Amino acid sequence: EKLEQLQNAGAEAMYYSADVCNAEEMKQAVQAGKARFGHIDGVIHAAGIEGEGSILEKEIEEYLKTLGPKVQGTLALEEALQGEHLDFICYFSSSSAIIGDFGNCDYAVGNR
């Protein structure tokens, strides 16, 4: 619905579902964008998973899952964009990177 609203306003937009932590899937997403638009001017990386519960009560796998989109996702995106000449890349974060998030430090660490 949101894409349709953008298109009705004259924008060109597409949706591509991929795991941001998977470099191969991100390369496929970049290629799909280039196939549709001819080139990529910029990238907005806003993926993230909010941590739940206290760090003291988490298993390492849950901690790493929260870090994934911000840390591995950034690395996968960097790999997928090698050789591309972008005007910009914007990485979204959270105020938790500065002030913390009171127990869910995996989310704060990922955003930092």
**Per-residue tokens: 102:** 């009171």
Q: In this predicted model, what pLDDT tens digit does every residue of 80-93 receive, in sequence order?
A: 999 999 999 998 87
Whole-angstrom distance, CA of residue 76 vs CA of residue 95: 24
pLDDT band for 100, please (50, 70, 90 cuts). Answer: low
| 7: amino acid identity, one letter | Q
Q: In this predicted model, what pLDDT tens digit does every residue of 2-45 receive, in sequence order?
A: 889 998 999 888 889 999 999 999 999 999 999 999 999 999 98
**pTM for this predicted structure:** 0.79
Whole-angstrom distance, CA of residue 5 vs CA of residue 106: 35
Q: Cα 89 to the chain's mean position, in Å?
A: 11
Domains and CATH numbers, the chain: 20-111 (3.40.50.720)
pLDDT at 52: 75
Identify the bridge partners of residue 43 per DSSP, sorted by sequence position: 89
State yes or no: pLDDT of 101 exceeds 70.
no
